[in-house]
Amino acid sequence: MIRYFGKILGAHFRDGRALYALTVLGVALGVAAVLAVQVINLNATAAFSGSIRAVSGDAEVSVLGATPSLDETVLREVLSTPGVERAWPLVQRSVAVSGDDRFYLDVVGFDLFAPVSVPLSHEVLPEDPVNALATPGWVAISPRLAADRGWSVGDTVVVTSGSRSAVLTIGTLVDFQSATPLASSRLVTMDIAHAQSLFGTVGRIDQIDVQVRDGVAPDRLASLLRDRLGPGVRVLTPDQRGQEAAGLLSAFRLNLTALSLISIFVGVFLVHSAAQTALVRRRREFGILRSLGATRGQVFGLILSEITLLGLLGVSLGLPLGLAVANANLDLVSATLTNLYLLEEIESLVLPWWIYGLGVVVGLGGAVAGALGPALDMSRRDTKSLLAAFTLHERTRSRAPALFTTGLAILGIAAVGYLTLGREWQHSGFALAAALLVGLPLLTPLLVHRLGAVARTNAFDWRFALKSLSARLQTTAFAAAALTVAVAMLVGITLMVGSFRETLDLWIADTVRADVFVTTESWRGETDETILDDRVISAVRARADVRAVDRLRSFSGFVGDRSVSILGVDFELEGGEPRFAMLEGSTQGVARDGAVLVSEPFFRKTGVGPGDRLEIRGPNGLVRPRIAGVYYDYSTERGAVAMDLRTMTEYFGPGGTQSIAVYLSPGVDPEAVIDELRAAFPDVPLIARSNSTLRDEALRVFDQTFAITRILQAMSLLIAAAGITLALLVLAREKQSELALYRALGATRRQVFSLFVGKGIGIAGIGLFLGGLGGVALAGILIYVTNRAYFGWTIQAHLPAFDLAQQAGTILTAALLASLYPAMRASRTPAAELSRENL
């Protein structure tokens, strides 16, 4: 059999190039989608873990502050704890390179004389330790950073943190990344004394890393430290820190994975269609083989071997394609990671061997799954039917009603299940969506059939084409089903993203009311030390054209183990405008009684709301303010707690302002004010934006975040369009006699061509219709169920009519284009093809 296989392979390849290509393409696309998504998912947290590892090395436990920074005397406590082998302090800051507010350096201040093995392989010169101490601003950077920025040893770089700026001197190059490849190339190390005096606060550090004595379990030491050090401090193992990050990202990653699964589905469909087409052509060949004594198993094996080969080809295409897609989207995903999740950006991809294994499994599995049906079908037929060259027996038509009922049942059960039991279950959104995407396609066969039945034939036109779709239900319904899924996905996501964007826009309009916003270049550092110079604030206040100045102080904090953003603003600002759009409760009591507001994502994820007491970890223990209300917050899915500045001082001690929002008198030009401010403070690293600029930026970040989904959508659509082509090719092939009949009866080539294009558009139309309905339902699920459960946002549904119309147009155009080639083939059917076959 193997020799036969080898011989025929070449012949079939020449014959069915298009089909083979489409099979390979289907597999490749499915593999690429899965691979790209998994690589991105993996690397999203790997970068963070890598940075932890680079900075903390082999430290088994890290001590971090629960509030802004750590009192450095905690180090003494840690050092005196039994079980500690070594402990060393760190000061960490994100600083902005002056003049480039997008470029950050991660400065880590080490105690260069702590007897510790830090994961460096180095080219340290003998004078270096002395220089490191003697020269404020002496830093060691990685060769890669030096290369990227064009810096060399001896150069100086001006950086800013808050309103402070400092001059760094490149002292030496140390290749951190050779020991920990995932270390950010932006890692910059210096002596802790200088780090503290340049960027930090005297008496405070950011982290203490601990190496545990041999024979002591890190978890036990961590627990002992927790007891000794109290709640103002977090004690974590590196795994726990990685889990924190993973937790932040879980929703994001899950969504991506779900999308990739859909891509697999559509890819499998493509393979199925292609396999079916190819096999149908070769009925006679199989008939001959069987009549010569080949067993069913041998025929099956033959088919499967071909499919495996094609699958492997597809995998070999799909793997590099997936990597390319992941690489191409690194920037986008990194932007999301840093913008929304305040995590590290991905600089290079880590690709463990098992990712490739996954790609192979998906590719081969998908290929076999797709071809299994037709393969089994072909190998099970008895010889006579194969030889007699009858076309596929139409079982689908009789099954159509059953399938329809099953589909409705699935949808119904899912809906009822959700309404009664599922509301509380976090994953119910996914279950609903899955039910939708499984149930919906099952409705297509009957729909196509019915449509054909009601179409009246009064002309040789699109209605005639529609009617003829039901003649080959198995093929046409399948194509329509795949298109339905792709369209449902497209419409659903477009609706959700559109609604989200609209909601975001309205929310910004509602809450971002000030005219000018001023902050520092390093505002993303989000610590209590990246503050705005008081001189700037005073200067702004003193202006005659300024109605009010609203201050914002913010830093990261912890409620239990959940990381939240803690904000302090002036709740009783005169001349200001309300900044919080309330979902529940009110702002009453926030200014006077020290109550706080929590953001909607926080509320939905924890269930802690108005009337309850919040437990925030403060530097001196837990503080328990009352929650007065819940506000809408679309800026992040991380929870947030807002309070009055005075309350904040009471709980967390005094601190500076990170940014201000300025309300101008009517008629004053914000841009002019911004220019004057910059001119007045040339050496202070300010970022000043007008209201409209800020809104544009926010939306830009939003668009960036959702760019990745667009790519997956495009891929699915591509696959579905290819599916139409295949379906039509199958039709053209199978119905040659019918086409020959039309030609014999006097239909011109153009008429046959139009007929086929009509079929393609008919399939597209059905897909659009059903998919549109499904998409609306999917959008509903995404907006009202998933988003609330996973991210905690309320999204107001909006119809982005223009986008949808554009997409419908694109789909129809794609269907049109997909039909052209098969229609051309069909029209070429010579009338003489009226062979001795039944139609």
By DSSP bridging, strand 233-236 and strand 516-520 are: unpaired
- By C-beta, is 41 or 737 nearer to other proteins? 737
Q: What is the DSSP string of 600-642?
A: HHHHHHH---TTSB--EEETTEEE-PBEEEEE---S-SSEEEE
The nearest distance, CB 3 to other proteins, in angstroms, is: 22
Q: Which secondary structure element, helix H or strand E, spans residue 643, and what is its range?
A: strand 639-644
- By C-beta, is 594 or 619 nearer to other proteins? 619
The nearest distance, CB 366 to other proteins, in angstroms, is: 33
- By C-beta, is 432 or 747 nearer to other proteins? 747
- By C-beta, is 73 or 586 nearer to other proteins? 73
Please, are residues 729 and 277 in contact by the beta-carbon 8 Å criterion?
yes
CA distance 820 to 815: 9
CA distance 763 to 727: 10
Q: Residue 492: how many CA atoms within 13 Å on its side-chain side?
A: 27
- By C-beta, is 260 or 470 nearer to other proteins? 470
Please, are residues 416 and 439 in contact by the beta-carbon 8 Å criterion?
no
The nearest distance, CB 747 to other proteins, in angstroms, is: 5
CA distance 342 to 349: 19
Q: Provide the H-helix boundaries in 681-748.
A: 691-734, 736-744
CA distance 21 to 241: 46
- By C-beta, is 86 or 427 nearer to other proteins? 86
Nearest CA to 139 out of 126, 153, 125, 127 is that of 153
The nearest distance, CB 786 to other proteins, in angstroms, is: 42
The nearest distance, CB 88 to other proteins, in angstroms, is: 10
DSSP label of 785: I
- By C-beta, is 88 or 269 nearer to other proteins? 88
The nearest distance, CB 737 to other proteins, in angstroms, is: 7
Torsion of CA 438, 266, 30, 349, to 10 degrees: -70
The nearest distance, CB 184 to other proteins, in angstroms, is: 20
User: Taken in order 494, 495, 499, 500, is the CA torsion positive or negative?
Assistant: negative
DSSP label of 174: B
Angle, CA 68 vertex, CA 65 and CA 72 arms, to 5°:
55
- By C-beta, is 640 or 732 nearer to other proteins? 732
The nearest distance, CB 502 to other proteins, in angstroms, is: 46
- By C-beta, is 228 or 551 nearer to other proteins? 228
- By C-beta, is 476 or 635 nearer to other proteins? 476
The nearest distance, CB 197 to other proteins, in angstroms, is: 4
The nearest distance, CB 445 to other proteins, in angstroms, is: 14
- By C-beta, is 668 or 741 nearer to other proteins? 741
215 CB-contact burial (10 Å; exposed 0-12 / middle 13-18 / buried 19+): exposed
Please, are residues 349 and 9 in contact by the beta-carbon 8 Å criterion?
no
The nearest distance, CB 466 to other proteins, in angstroms, is: 11
- By C-beta, is 71 or 584 nearer to other proteins? 71
Q: Residue 216: how many CA atoms within 13 Å on its side-chain side?
A: 19
CB atoms within 10 A of CB 26: 32
- By C-beta, is 459 or 679 nearer to other proteins? 459
The nearest distance, CB 176 to other proteins, in angstroms, is: 12
The nearest distance, CB 205 to other proteins, in angstroms, is: 9
- By C-beta, is 122 or 689 nearer to other proteins? 122
Residues contacting 315, CB < 8 A, separation 6+: 27, 28, 31, 359, 360, 363, 364
Please, are residues 507 and 794 in contact by the beta-carbon 8 Å criterion?
no
Please, are residues 208 and 65 in contact by the beta-carbon 8 Å criterion?
no
The nearest distance, CB 174 to other proteins, in angstroms, is: 10
- By C-beta, is 314 or 452 nearer to other proteins? 452
Nearest CA to 829 out of 734, 760, 764, 765 is that of 734
- By C-beta, is 118 or 785 nearer to other proteins? 118
Residue 573 to residues 549, 578, 644, 725, Cα–Cα distance (Å): 8, 9, 10, 64
Task: Give bridge partners of residue 589 from the DSSP assignment.
Answer: none
The nearest distance, CB 757 to other proteins, in angstroms, is: 16
Q: Residue 715: how many CA atoms within 13 Å on its side-chain side?
A: 30
CA distance 509 to 579: 10
The nearest distance, CB 766 to other proteins, in angstroms, is: 16
DSSP label of 143: H
CA distance 732 to 837: 15
Instruction: Calculate the CA 526 to chain-centre distance.
Output: 24
Please, are residues 558 and 617 in contact by the beta-carbon 8 Å criterion?
yes
